[in-house]
């Protein structure tokens, strides 16, 4: 059993290894005290979920939590069921802010540190009436924003607009939410079939044109114009843009850095962006092959059934149901990609019995696993 690293018995602190990485973190697992003001011990690097309370034992005492600058990761439900919590002093070195407040009825206002560069799942804005936000956000994971009520809006992009507009670093320009200070396109508002990125922007953020969830009022983009000031397209920037047919860049191909899988699941594009029309490059010939992500989603659905599948069985099912040619080597690479990118719970190798014979196959060790984009 792991040893408690704290001298204060009210705090259960352990060195925990990240199951998806090699490094370990000094992690706060539980607070058992009854103070109104709780100061997390310096040296803690991560705060786990349900540290201060849970649905079985809600905390009605804590009014303020002070977090030291040594903390670099806070789990989404870290403060859940703290019924009297009003104030949180967040650490100054936090890069990702992905916190829920739906079980904190007394908190109304938060200050997100200037260091934060990525907004993750603020799953429920209630009861927050104001969010103080720094000017350094370069990534917004819109798929993590459900329908809010507090800001009188009806969809993720419009609700997060209300948050970003509280800082003058962010504004809507030609249908795009941008960080003017960092010259970054955070996301498109999908206002027309053809969209032109504003002049002066240098980076298309991850999820900039992400279309896995579109409101009925939004329009799938078909053509995008990029000014020559753009130099970087981040991974997944155009993910799931099924209707996208053309991207025109007013510059040279060598000046544009395209992130891996920037165009994943775009039926008219290679994932590496080699189809972008530049001054000095024509697009590659289009193919009718399904993308890697289409195959990954299909394999995921197969493994969710709880059955075991060999590479050949998965290849046959893909060719039959997706109507595309694929090799067993490609299927194996897809499975490796699922493990590496999505952390899918697929054992490296397995033998299973069927009709008295031994077969090698793949399966999910956790059937509750879901792909997160």
DSSP per-residue codes, 193-208? SEEEPPTT--EEPTTS
Starting at the edge strand found earlier in the chain, the sheet holding 246-249 runs 194-196, 223-226, 246-249
> Other C-beta atoms within 10 Å of 183: how many?
16
Whole-number Å distance between alpha carbons of 195 and 189: 10
Length of the chain: 373
pTM: 0.70
Residue with tokens 């938060």: 110
Whole-number Å distance between alpha carbons of 330 and 318: 11
Taking phi over 0 as left and psi of -120 to 50 as alpha, with beta for the rest, 276 belongs to beta
pLDDT at 278 over 90: yes
**Could you tell me if 354 and 363 are in contact, meaning their C-beta atoms sit under 8 angstroms apart?**
no
Name, in order, each residue with C-beta under 8 angstroms of 216's C-beta and a sequence gap of 6 or more. none
**Among candidates 256, 136, 133, which has minimal Cα distance to 186?**
136
**Strand pairing partners for 373?**
none
Tens digits of per-residue pLDDT, 129-186?
Answer: 788 889 999 998 765 444 444 433 333 576 788 788 889 999 999 999 999 999 999 9
**Mean pLDDT for all residues in the chain:** 85
**Could you tell me if 349 and 333 are in contact, meaning their C-beta atoms sit under 8 angstroms apart?**
no
Tens digits of per-residue pLDDT, 338-354?
Answer: 988 888 999 876 555 55
**Poorest-pLDDT segment among 16-25, 315-324, 337-346:** 16-25
**Among candidates 69, 75, 36, 73, which has minimal Cα distance to 54?**
75
């Amino acid at each position: 059993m792991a040893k408690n690293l704290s001298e204060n018995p009210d705090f259960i602190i352990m060195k925990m290894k990240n199951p998806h990485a090699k490094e370990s973190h000094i992690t706060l697992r539980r607070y058992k005290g009854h103070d109104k003001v709780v100061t997390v011990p310096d040296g803690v690097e991560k705060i786990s979920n349900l540290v201060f309370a849970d649905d079985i034992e809600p905390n009605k005492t804590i009014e303020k939590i002070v977090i030291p600058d040594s903390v670099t990761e806070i789990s989404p439900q870290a403060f859940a069921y703290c019924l009297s919590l009003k104030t949180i002093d967040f650490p100054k070195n936090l890069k990702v802010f992905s916190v829920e407040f739906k079980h904190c009825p007394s908190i109304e206002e938060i200050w997100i540190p200037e260091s934060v560069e990525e907004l993750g799942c603020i799953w429920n804005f209630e009861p927050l009436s104001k969010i103080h936000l720094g000017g350094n956000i370069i990534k917004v994971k819109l798929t993590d924003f459900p329908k809010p009520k507090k800001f009188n809006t009806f969809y993720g992009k419009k609700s997060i607009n209300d948050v970003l507009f509280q800082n003058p670093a962010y504004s809507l320009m030609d249908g795009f939410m941008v960080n003017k200070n960092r010259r970054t396109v955070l996301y498109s508002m999908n206002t027309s079939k053809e969209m032109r990125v504003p002049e002066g922007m240098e980076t298309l953020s991850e999820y900039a044109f992400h279309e896995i969830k579109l409101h009925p009022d939004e329009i799938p983009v078909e053509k995008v114009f990029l000014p020559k000031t753009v130099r970087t397209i981040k991974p997944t920037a155009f993910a799931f843009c099924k209707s996208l047919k053309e991207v025109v860049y007013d510059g040279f191909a060598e000046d544009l850095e395209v992130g891996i899988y920037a165009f994943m699941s775009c039926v008219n594009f290679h994932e590496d962006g080699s189809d972008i029309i530049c001054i000095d490059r024509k697009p590659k010939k289009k193919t009718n092959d399904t993308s890697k992500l289409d195959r990954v989603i299909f394999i995921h659905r197969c493994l969710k059934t709880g059955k075991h599948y060999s590479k050949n069985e998965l290849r046959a099912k893909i060719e039959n149901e997706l109507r595309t040619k694929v090799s067993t080597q490609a299927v194996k690479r897809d499975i490796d990609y699922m493990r590496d990118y999505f952390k899918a719970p697929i054992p490296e190798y397995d033998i299973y019995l069927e009709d008295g014979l031994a077969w090698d196959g793949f399966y999910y060790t956790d059937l509750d696993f879901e792909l997160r984009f």
